Amino acid sequence: MSRIAAKFESLRAQGRKALIPYVTAGDPKPGITVSIMHAMVEAGADIIELGVPFSDPMADGPVIQRASERALVHHTSLRDVMAMVREFRTDNQGTPVVLMGYLNPIEVMGYEIFAAAAEEAGVDAALTVDIPPEEAGELLSALEKHGLNAIFLVAPTSIESRIETICKVASGFVYYVSLKGVTGASNLDLDAVKQKLDEIRKATDLPIGVGFGIKDAATAAAVSQVADAVVVGSALVNQVEALADTPDAIAPALAASLVEMRQAMDAIN
Amino acid sequence: MPTSNRETYFDQPDEHGHFGPYGGIFVAETLMEALQELRLNYEKYLQDETFLAELDADLTHYVGRPSPVYHAARWSRELGGAQIYLKREDLNHTGAHKVNNTIGQALLAKRMGKTRIIAETGAGQHGVATATVAARLGLECVVYMGAVDIVRQEANVYRMRLLGAEVRAVESGSKTLKDALNEAMRDWVTNIDDTFYIIGTVAGPHPYPAMVRDFQAIIGREARQQMPQQAGRLPDALVACVGGGSNAIGLFYPFLDDKEVAIYGVEAAGDGLETGNHAAPLCAGRPGVLHGNRTYLMEDDDGQIIETHSISAGLDYPGVGPEHAWLKDCGRAQYVAVTDNEALAAFHALTRIEGIIPALESSHALAYAAKLAPTMNKDQIILVNLSGRGDKDIHTVAALEGIEI
């Protein structure tokens, strides 16, 4: 069983929902990322989504764009990100890590080389924003060969047949993008989210995570009532940005936010 | 030069938008349905007599097509080789080839019931051409433009604003065309229900590369009729500048199966390919995935897109249309590069010798033609796509000479 499947199974047994924080690797400087990851786990994170910086993050809003830019000042590469995961794994074998990013760094490295290196580093899954299932054949084979899950996005605009196409190739969990727009946008409509999750559940037994638009403990708790996992990104990256000049303050600040979310989610479910 | 044994070059892309290994659809899921809707409408209306008649009428009466082919006899004599002919896209309404495509896409937007138009622009020519058709059709128009480009193309920014478009400065990344494209994509994802994204070049996710090519192919279709009438035969060589590559593919495409016609795409070598300060992905880059398609890119070893340099804002782009990538690999077209200085010399030469001020983009094609002509006979013919006029560039050129206008 994959680390992600095991995590969801144990959460289900406890009647809890997964909390998945996102940070961009190398933001605001590479040396700090692993300690942030550990702090997030301690604060209640179940899975970590680690952003791979990219020069042209087309699907991200300004907050995560700037995180990429800060990380790229230090030339944080895909190899560097995998090295961070390897370091994280020396003290943590249980928390799944999902690499989230864009295709080109993987394309340039080569799918097979990437998948082998990711497996070796202790990565559990890849979420590649700009590769739809139709183009993903070779990448999927490489990921599967190395025991990595392939996380795909489902959008509010995805019609039934597309949801089926996506769910056929997805593994680990399905990531529902809760609104039309880029990361960090607002206006979460919970009823619409619930309706879409019901549609997705018809196509798959995989757990469903919901992301985009989760700002605080209250929205995290609300979303956790309808989803299996809550992904929180821009709200955390905003804090990283605010504290970029005092990097030692970042991990405690993110931990404090996650503790609030964790408590709100656990209280309501 | 590698040669290909293909029977035809008209069979690309495949149904998923692949030109050989290039092209395709590489976007976030939110855009997939919109691209599907666009593809179905584009395929439908490209066969629709009423749509095509309306497009034709607009191209004739609004754009001023057909654009003439002009024999640059004096310049040809001076160069002492092949006869150079110019396809005068600079004489189109709005001053460049860009309007051929924006007219087509805007008519499509109207048919699809979209009320809001967005576009990205580099030199501002595509932005102006988009703002122009949006004004004419009464559609809301937002143009994304890199903050750096806004400074170097001030006049076009004002033109767009006069036309009623909102020009939004893009401050992320290198603040040029690629970042404007990122931002336009983000807008589209957010406003997908009422918004039509008019991409200005033959890049982006399928169906854009094929659709923009089809709208621009009017250039080559006309030229293929005009050359026999005017010069007695088809040209021996075609030359066009390549940034994203829309004017080039527009000229090249109808000639692809005329295998006796050599094809040259000219990229921007900037300060010189050896300096790294250039915008020549086909000559000095390698394949990757950006802006929705797989193609040649300017990228580093980590897969990050690197900043490009060209004197011409319209060529300052790290990618290139996937069909060009494919034509390069199969050897049907050759891709070369000329430097800023070579382009500037051609800009001045055409202006002084023929009385035509060319765009700095088109000056790259002219510069290569000036190298090629002396290697050919006097009875041979080079057809250059004069893709735009240079009025927009006079500030740039003047500044280089220390003159402030």
8 Å CB contact of B304 and A55: yes
Q: Per-residue pLDDT averaged across A21-41, rounded?
A: 98
Among B210, B204, B279, smallest CA distance to B241 is for B279
Determine the residue of chain A that is closest to B22 in CA distance: A135
Both tokens of residue A239?
């804090």
**Strand ranges, E, within B17-139:** 18-19, 22-26, 69-71, 83-88, 116-121
Domain ranges of chain A: 3-263
Among A109, A162, A182, beta carbon nearest to B190? A182
Closest residue in B to A152 (Cα) is B29
Q: How far is CA B105 from CA B117, B224, B253, in A?
A: 10, 24, 19
DSSP-assigned letter for residue A147: T
pLDDT over 50 (residue A181):
yes
**Least CB–CB distance from B33: residue in A103, A104, A158:** A158
| Alpha-carbon gap, residue A170 to B29, rounded angstroms | 13
pTM over 0.90? The answer is yes
Compute the distance between CA of residue B34 and CA of residue B196 in angstroms, rounded to an integer: 9
Residue B97 backbone phi and psi in degrees, to 5: -70, -15
Q: Across the interface, do B30 and A180 touch by the CB < 8 Å criterion?
A: yes
Number of alpha carbons in the 13 Å side-chain half-sphere of residue B323 = 33
Asked if B169 is an interface residue toward chain A (Cβ–Cβ < 8 A), one would say no
Query: CATH says A3-263 is which class?
Result: alpha beta
ipTM of the complex: 0.95
For B16-75, what is each residue's pLDDT tens digit? 999 999 999 999 999 999 999 999 999 999 999 999 999 999 999 999 999 999 999 999
Inspect the interface and report whether the beta carbons of B179 and A129 lie closer than 8 Å.
no
- Cross-strand bridge partners of residue B289: B294
Residues of A tagged active-site:
49, 60
Asked if A182 and B186 come within 8 Å (Cβ–Cβ), the reply is yes
Provide block-wise average pLDDT over 10 residues at a time, chain B (405 residues). Answer: 74 96 96 94 96 98 98 98 98 97 97 97 92 97 94 90 98 88 91 94 97 98 98 98 97 97 98 97 98 97 95 92 98 98 98 98 98 98 98 91 86
Residue range A70-87, pLDDT digits in tens:
999 999 999 999 999 999
H/E run at residue A264: helix A250-268
Whether omega before B207 lies within 30 degrees of 0, making that bond cis, reads yes
| 8 Å CB contact between A225 and A15 | no
Q: Which of B26, B293, B307 to mutate to test the interface with A (most CBs of A within 10 A)?
A: B26
User: Chain A interface, mutation test: which of B35, B304, B306, B317, most A Cβ atoms within 10 Å?
Assistant: B304
Q: Are strands B292-297 and B286-290 parallel, antiparallel or unpaired?
A: antiparallel
CB contact under 8 A, A55 and B190: no
Average pLDDT along chain A = 95
Residue A186 binned pLDDT confidence (cut-offs 50, 70, 90): low
